[in-house]
Every structure is written in structure tokens, then in C-alpha cells.
Amino acid sequence: MENKTVYLNGQYLPLNEAKISVMDRGFLFGDGIYEVIPAYRGKLFRFQEHMERLENSLNNIRLINPYSREQWLEILTALLSSSGDQYIYLQVTRGVAPKRDHAFPEKTEPTVFAMCSNIVPFEGRDSGVKAMSLDDSRWELCHVKATTLLANILLRQQAVEQGCAEAVLVKEGYVTEGAASNIFAVIDGVLITPPKSSEILPGITRDVILEIAKENHIPYSEEVISLEALKTASEIWLTSSTREIIPVVEFDDQKVSGGKPGPVWQNMNRLFQAYKQSQS
């Protein structure tokens, strides 16, 4: 059973008792950021890296971090149970303003919310999924983990309605990322992912994969990937904190890796699972 206790503005309380004001800027404007941190056997995975991304997101929207890393660790750890795979969702908004005004309000306290949920293994993780390319119609600050996700939602929904698990986003002929994932491709035997920029979210799982590749002498590169090049890839993966590494076996109605997860994915997934075990 999932832990139904949540954290809201200094209090732990049942989920059904957690309430915010309708004047909260997160509700009115999507004026806030969020973070998702997986946890294995009661220990937060890559906590410091997630905190760094949280801090960068807050800085980019000019919102002061309400807690130190030590305080965050104490707050979030208290929501975890001691067994099973879980994840923390945390959100910080600019808080409750006296009136609806686009300009930043003065002297408001940020709204801080966090909850813990069980990680449900993604159905297509071992068998692979379908994906399709769509034009990247999002804003220019995709490296900020903002709560304003309407463009991502519409793109993902368009893909789902076509029987796909994810939309691979394309800007000016080059792949950026998935609607809710980073992307990797194996091209000519090299594992490639787009470099960090304002056009992609700096994924923590993405970074772990690159570290594992380096340590295990798997050829890899951070470079732009054209849509044309992606269609020649022998393997395509989608990565995120809760879905981990998902092989794409069909892309834009064309089979990838013969319609099944490829050997590089098989190796990386094995190494990634071993790394998780070593960190928990």
C-alpha cells in the first residue's frame, strides 16, 4: 500500500487533508517547479544530483530555495517506507498572492508540497515500445523543471492516441528529447544523446547512463542527432527517473533493432540495475 502521508508547508498530514489556496500562483499560473526522485529500499537515488537540478530550476525562475539540502533530505526521507521501489514528487510554487497579477508578488512564502508513491514497473520496459516524432512546440526554457507542462501533455497525448508510448520531439530537423524523457540512440556502434542545453531537461538517469558507459568502455558521445540520423539508428532508448531505460522497438512506423530490444540496451540495463543495487 502506498504511503498516503504527504508534506505540505511544514506539516505531515493525510493526502485528503492537504489543501492549498485557489490564489496560489502554482494553481493560477503554473508558477513553480517540481522534482521527481526515485528511492530504492528506503534510500533516495542520486539525491545530491536531484538537489542540484532543483536549485538550478529555482534559480532560473528567481525563487529562493526554502530549505537547505540537509533539510530537504530529512523532510523527504520521512515520507519513504523501508522497502520497495518508490519515488518522491516535490513541488515548490511562488506561493499565495493577494491578487492575480502576472508580476511577482512581494513578501510571499513559497508553497512546498511533497508526496511519496510506489514505482510501478513500466509495462514496456523489457519488451520495448512504439514512439513517433512530433515538432517540438514547447517554450525555450526546457532545462527548467517547471510545472507548466501543457505543451508536453498535448504532445504525449497525441502520441498515445496513435498507439505510441512517447513523442520524440524535433526542432529544426534535430531531435531534442521525449515529451517526458531523454533520448539515446546507437548509431554506427556509438551510444549518442543530445548535449545539455536549454532545449532539454538535464536528466539524472541520462547522466548515470553516460557514467556507466564511460566506466564500462561503451563508446558514447554527446552530440546533436538529426531526425534523419535517428531513423538509421540500430537502437533507440527513452530514459527517465521512474521508467528508467525503455527500448524503442518501433519508431515512425518502422521497426528498430528488428522489433525487439537490442544488445546494447540489454547490457546497459543490466549494468544500470546493478548500479542501483550498489547505491541502495
DSSP state of 257: G
Q: Which of 87, 118, 149 is the last residue of a domain?
A: 118
From the CA atom positions of the chain, what is the Rg in Å? 19
176, 246: one domain? yes
Task: Please report, in angstroms and rounded to a whole number, the separation of the first and last CA atoms in the chain.
Answer: 21
Count the alpha carbons within 13 Å of 128 in the hemisphere toward its beta carbon.
21
Q: Are residues 269 and 135 in the same domain?
A: yes
pLDDT of residue 280: 67
Question: What are the pLDDT digits (tens) for 43-88?
Answer: 999 999 999 999 999 999 999 999 999 999 999 999 998 778 999 9
Residues 168 and 273 in one domain: yes
Amino acid residing at 20: I
Is pTM beyond 0.75 here? yes
Low-confidence residues in the chain, pLDDT < 70: 1-3, 280
35: left (phi > 0), else alpha (psi -120 to 50), else beta?
A: beta
Identify the helix (H) or strand (E) that includes residue 13.
strand 11-14
Look at residue 69 in the predicted model and tell me its pLDDT. Answer: 98
Amino acid at 14: P
126-164 core/surface letters (b: 16 or more CB in 10 A; e: else): eebbbbbbbebebeeebbbbbbbbeebeebbeebeeeeb
Q: What is the DSSP string of 139-201?
A: -S-TTS-BS--HHHHHHHHHHHTTT-SEEEEEETTEEEEETTBEEEEEETTEEEEPPPSTTS-
Do 179 and 70 lie in one domain? The reply is no
Same domain? For 147 and 214 the reply is yes
Lookup: cell for 275: 548500479
**Does residue 124 form part of some domain?**
no
- The reply to whether 144 and 233 lie within a common domain is yes
Residue ending a domain, choose from 73, 96, 118: 118
Residue 123 placed within a domain: no
* Axis-axis angle for helices 47-60, 69-77 (nearest 10): 120
* Predicted pLDDT of residue 126: 87
If asked whether residues 257 and 148 sit together in one domain, one would say yes
Tell me if 256 sits within 8 A of 200, measured CB to CB.
no
- 269 and 151: one domain? yes
In this structure, is residue 14 part of a structural domain? yes
Q: Which secondary-structure segment (H or E) carries 32?
A: strand 32-40
Cell 554506427 -> residue: 188
Whether residue 81 lies inside any domain: the answer is yes
Asked if the structure places residue 80 within a domain, the reply is yes
**CATH number of the domain that residue 81 is part of:** 3.30.470.10
Please report, for the domain that includes residue 249, its CATH number. 3.20.10.10
Do 99 and 40 share a structural domain?
A: yes
Residue where a domain terminates, one of 118, 142, 162: 118
Question: Would 45 be classed as within a structural domain?
Answer: yes
Structural domain boundaries, residue 189: 129-279
Co-location of 98 and 143 in the same domain: no
Q: Is there a catalytic annotation at residue 145?
A: yes
Q: Do 172 and 249 reside in the same domain of the chain?
A: yes
Q: In b/e form, how buried is each residue of 235-260, taking b as 16+ CB within 10 angstroms?
A: bbbbbbbbbbbbbbbbbeeeebbeee
Q: Are 138 and 273 members of one domain?
A: yes
Closest residue by Cα to residue 242 from 189, 186, 204, 201 = 204
Question: What's the structural domain count of the chain?
Answer: 2
- Indicate which residue of 43, 99, 130, 145 is catalytic: 145
In 3D space, the residue among 93, 120, 126, 89 whose CA is nearest the CA of residue 109 turns out to be: 93
